[in-house]
Amino acid sequence: MSLERWLLALFLVLLPSCATGAKAPPPQRGPEPPEDVRLYALDCGRAEIADMSAFGDEGGPRELVASCYVIRHPRGTLLWDTGVNDTIAQTKGGVVHERTGIRFRVDTPLREHLRALNLSPADVEYVAFSHLHIDHAGNANLFPSSTWILNRRELEWATATPPPPTIDPELFSAHRTAKLKLLDGEADIFGDGAVTIVPTPGHTPGHQSLVVRLRRAGTLVISGDVCHTHANWQHRRVPPFNTDREESLRSMERLDALIGAARARFVVQHEPGDLSALPRFPAFLD
Ligand SMILES: [Zn+2]
């Protein structure tokens, strides 16, 4: 069932109780998500921002996290975003990125996180990208044998000549030989509504967000960079470097409606507090 149809079913279920003013029933989740779907949240690097006004937020320094997510599903393992490049872990205290002035740090390389789950990169069947900025595509080339799930517009934009200034094409050069699953819109990855990718363009042209439905933990919406902080989300602030401001605002509204209808937990990928509120890796939600 597509997410839209599922939300419609949810709406129809809720409608009678709204009309009579009766107490709302517990959250409806459509057909039960499958057993044995697990969501792991990983710290895939830190970004020290000298001045948050660069992100449209109130000024001042802040540390953001680059979080990644592993979903173990009976039909395969999916990694959502690949974080900051693992080689940065070799430099204690991190490395300052030349173009942006952001200091990136990696405490635990992604490869090591995967090892903790007894996974090698080749065991990851699907690698899905919210978008191709350096803090999301940093370890893309670790996965040459995986199927890469990308929005078509994102890949076209990120591989243009010359590349956009926010992109480092070398980080994801394995796209030339990897199996690609290019999305033109929403996609239900395993065909059972457990893992859905929804387009949320604006930050970049092919930006997308992730919806995960779990049997016990309920529905989670994982932001990508539809916003970088809760404050920006609440005040609908758009970073000046987003590729399309109006599209960014529309994406926020669309995602907010989806979160409301699904009574989902919203996880802002770059918010350290959102990561630490999730079970500490290798613990998981299911
Ligand atoms: Zn980012």
pLDDT at residue 65, rounded to an integer: 98
Arithmetic mean of pLDDT, 97-109 = 94
Q: Could you tell me the distance, in angstroms and rounded to a whole number, from the CA of residue 191 to the centre of ligand 1?
A: 28
pLDDT at residue 16, rounded to an integer: 38
The torsion angles phi and psi of 42, rounded to 5 degrees, stand at -120, 140
Residue 21 has pLDDT above 60, yes or no: no
The superfamily CATH assigns to domain 36-276 is: Ribonuclease Z/Hydroxyacylglutathione hydrolase-like (3.60.15.10)
* Interatomic CA distance for residues 247 and 205, integer angstroms: 9
Q: Could you tell me the distance, in angstroms and rounded to a whole number, from the CA of residue 271 to the centre of ligand 1?
A: 10
The torsion angles phi and psi of 170, rounded to 5 degrees, stand at -65, -30
pLDDT tens for 196-220 read 999 999 999 999 999 999 999 999 9
Q: Could you tell me the distance, in angstroms and rounded to a whole number, from the CA of residue 30 to the centre of ligand 1?
A: 32
* Interatomic CA distance for residues 134 and 130, integer angstroms: 12
Name residue 221's amino acid.
V
Q: Could you tell me the distance, in angstroms and rounded to a whole number, from the CA of residue 279 to the centre of ligand 1?
A: 22
Three-state secondary structure call for residue 97: coil
CB hemisphere CA count around 10 (13 angstroms): 22
Parallel/antiparallel/unpaired status of strands 76-80 and 62-73: antiparallel
Q: Could you tell me the distance, in angstroms and rounded to a whole number, from the CA of residue 131 to the centre of ligand 1?
A: 8
Q: Could you tell me the distance, in angstroms and rounded to a whole number, from the CA of residue 11 to the centre of ligand 1?
A: 33
Q: Could you tell me the distance, in angstroms and rounded to a whole number, from the CA of residue 281 to the centre of ligand 1?
A: 20
162 Cβ contact partners less than 8 Å away, ≥ 6 residues apart: none
As a whole-number percent, the residues of the chain with pLDDT over 70 amount to 89
| 12 vs 274, residue with greater confidence | 274
Domains of the chain, by residue range, sit at 36-276
Is 197:238 a contact under the CB 8 Å cutoff?
A: no
Per the structure block, which two tokens stand in for 72? 């173990």
Q: How confident is the model at residue 18 (pLDDT cuts 50, 70, 90)?
A: very low
What separation in angstroms does the CA of 130 have from each of 116, 171, 178?
Answer: 24, 15, 17
Q: How confident is the model at residue 244 (pLDDT cuts 50, 70, 90)?
A: very high
pLDDT tens for 143-199 read 999 999 999 999 999 999 999 988 999 999 999 999 999 999 999 999 999 999 999
